[in-house]
């Protein structure tokens, strides 16, 4: 194979399998080439990804070392994605009763999901997590893609237990948005004690659902090391959780005037956030 062909193959394999380590020997056997030749190919691939702002290739040392692709969102691409989201979310046709927005089309759009997941994976890549956790249903695509970017398994907390999941642990939690007691469950085989998790969700109003996820993971002795939400509501200011990473904020939704406030950053801090 020509060098350009080998470099192209290396980039394709690495970018389709983020955060997965490949040894030089893997590519050496694939291309029937010396490791020194593959090392030069990897160096070229690394330079190409940096030049095009499409992430980076890292080298890990040790017996199990090798190379892996780290997905990154450049400031320019991140700005374009959030601007696009703000524009789409500001459409008055999205307004539903009770100040809610219709967002299903966005949360299931592969291009948007991929970009958002990259932003979350970049934020949480060094937290040492073992799982990405979400609650059904609209948060699943973003959580799944984030798990893919971090090379971690996805765990889905159910609102109702499924017979196909075997024995489960269930808890009741108070949903701040619905103002009522609700139930969630998690299969006993889904996680292992002593592990760490990142929570990813599409929308957060008061944080009741996420607090519930934290509590049910606590039943398994699983600690939460990061929480990411695509959209966080400005109100209520005091959330049920303290630490979270939102991409956008939802302000006032005026059903009569048909206006929607979407913020990149808020100038008024939540009372219980630093």
Phi/psi at 201 (nearest 5 deg)?
-145, 160
State the pLDDT confidence band at 160, using cuts at 50, 70 and 90.
confident
Find, among 57, 27, 25, 61, the residue nearest to 44 by Cα: 57
Phi, psi of 68 (to 5 degrees): -150, 155
The average pLDDT across 145-157 equals 98
Among 48, 60, 55, 59, which Cα is nearest to 3's?
48
Averaged pLDDT for residues 95-123 = 93
pLDDT tens sequence across 198-240: 999 999 999 999 999 999 999 999 999 999 999 999 988 889 9
pLDDT tens digits for 179-205?
678 899 999 999 999 999 999 999 999
Residue 195: how many other CB atoms lie within 10 Å: 16
pLDDT for res 271: 45
Rounded Cα distance between 59 and 86, Å, is 37
pTM for this predicted structure:
0.92
**Domain ranges across the chain:** 3-70, 75-263
Residue 177 pLDDT more than 90? no
Report residue 5 as tokens: 């062909």
Domain 75-263 falls in which CATH fold? Rossmann fold (3.40.50)
CATH class of segment(s) 3-70: mainly alpha
Please list, in sequence order, all residues whose beta carbon lies within 8 angstroms of the beta carbon of residue 191, skipping any fewer than 6 positions away.
131, 155, 197, 217, 220, 222
Please tell me the chain's helix, strand, coil percentages from 3-state DSSP, rounded to the nearest 5.
40, 25, 35
- pLDDT tens, position by position, 29-75: 999 999 999 999 999 999 999 999 999 999 988 777 899 999 999 99
Output the pLDDT for position 268: 47
């Amino acid at each position: 194979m020509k060098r350009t062909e080998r470099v192209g193959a290396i980039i394709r394999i690495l970018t389709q399998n983020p955060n997965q380590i490949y040894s030089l020997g893997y590519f050496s056997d694939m291309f029937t080439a010396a490791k020194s030749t593959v090392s030069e190919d990897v160096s070229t691939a690394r330079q190409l990804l940096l030049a095009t702002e499409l992430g980076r290739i890292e080298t890990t040392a040790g017996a199990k070392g090798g190379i892996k692709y780290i997905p990154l969102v450049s400031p320019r691409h991140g700005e374009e994605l959030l601007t696009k989201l703000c524009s789409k979310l500001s459409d008055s046709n999205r307004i539903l009763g009770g100040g809610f927005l219709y967002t299903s089309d966005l949360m299931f759009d592969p291009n948007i999901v991929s970009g958002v997941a990259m932003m979350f994976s970049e934020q949480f890549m060094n937290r040492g997590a073992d799982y990405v956790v979400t609650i059904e249903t609209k948060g699943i695509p973003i959580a799944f893609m984030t798990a893919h970017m971090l090379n971690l398994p996805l765990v889905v907390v159910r609102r109702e237990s499924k017979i196909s999941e075997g024995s489960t642990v269930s808890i009741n939690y108070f949903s701040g948005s619905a103002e009522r007691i609700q139930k969630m469950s998690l299969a006993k085989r889904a996680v292992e004690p002593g592990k760490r998790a990142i929570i990813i969700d599409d929308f957060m109003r008061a944080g009741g659902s996420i607090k519930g996820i934290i509590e049910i993971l606590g039943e398994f002795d699983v600690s939460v090391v990061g929480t990411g939400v695509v959209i966080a509501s400005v109100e209520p200011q005091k959330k049920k959780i303290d630490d979270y990473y939102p991409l956008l904020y939802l302000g006032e939704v005026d059903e009569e005037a048909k206006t929607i406030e979407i913020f990149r950053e808020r100038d008024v801090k939540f009372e219980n956030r630093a």
